[in-house]
Amino acid sequence: MVENATLSEGDYGFVLKLDDAVPFSDSTGLPSVKYNLSLEPGECVFVECRDSFRAAQFTDFCVGLLPVKPDPSTGKGQGTVSCMGLNWAELDEKRAQALRGRIGRITDDSGWIDLYEMHMNILWPSLHHSRTSYDKLVLEAVHLAESFGLPGLPTQLPEKLSLLDRKRSEYVRTFMNRPSLLLLENPINLGGPIELYNAFLTELTAARERGCAVVWIGSERSAWAGYARPGMQRFRLGSNGLVK
């Protein structure tokens, strides 16, 4: 592959494709069964999962961190997990990391690095994966921060911010740098303010219109009840794997 080549949406059919993929995991996490999921650009899939550990393992499986179980007879992996047309198992570490840079994630623990202030935490993935100038990134972050109800980019340490502001900051980080795929683990707290919920859905819709695919994992169906439309794929992630 040419170093400077970029992938446009026409180059790959699905943003995320799990094709009979069996994860390499123990009995406590993701069940070792076949997973099938296809996600086109702009598509949104809802996955109901009440176990946060299992949900985290599933998103790790989608981003290639949890490998595919090898077939004892052939030695090859059982099924494939591809992102933007690229099979995780065939990518070397550097390319896999670059591809993960195109994915926006919301995780249960948020993963803030307490050594840096919040603005650096927000900009960190974009600074690492892109060559966009610092000023442009700050402008984009400020615009997103304001749309989520923050007065600007928060400059305190993550631990000094309120839970709500940390959530807002997490949204900003997730939507930064125009991701091609969003993996959202319980992105909505139903106890939060309605303005934040609306702002999140607005940004989500805007991202989908740009061609970003979305996997929305929630413990309650009611979380996406206001957003789901007929025809959208819905699954349940349980002890039998991903079930429609």
Nearer to other proteins, 186 or 205 (CB): 186
| Element (DSSP H or E) covering residue 118 | helix 118-129
- Footprint on this chain of other proteins (rule: CB under 8 A): 59-60, 63, 65, 93, 96-101, 103, 105, 107, 109-115, 120, 124-125, 127-129, 134
Identify which of residues 136 and 221 has a Cβ nearer to other proteins in the complex.
136
For the packed helices 118-129 and 163-175, what is the interaxial angle rounded to 10 degrees?
A: 10
CB of residue 221 to other proteins, shortest distance in Å? 25
**In the complex with other proteins, which residue's Cβ is closer, 168 or 173?**
173
Task: Output the smallest distance, CB 139 to other proteins, in A.
Answer: 16
Instruction: Return the structure tokens found at 235.
Output: 């699954």
Provide, rounded to whole angstroms, the least separation between the CB of residue 138 and other proteins: 13
Residue 127 Cβ vs other proteins, minimum distance, rounded to whole Å: 4
Cα 43 to Cα 9: distance, rounded to the nearest angstrom: 13
Distance of CA 85 to the CA centre of its chain: 17
Q: CB-wise, 57 or 165, nearer to other proteins?
A: 57
Which tokens is 211 given?
Answer: 């061609």
Q: What end-to-end distance do the CA atoms of the chain give, in Å?
A: 36
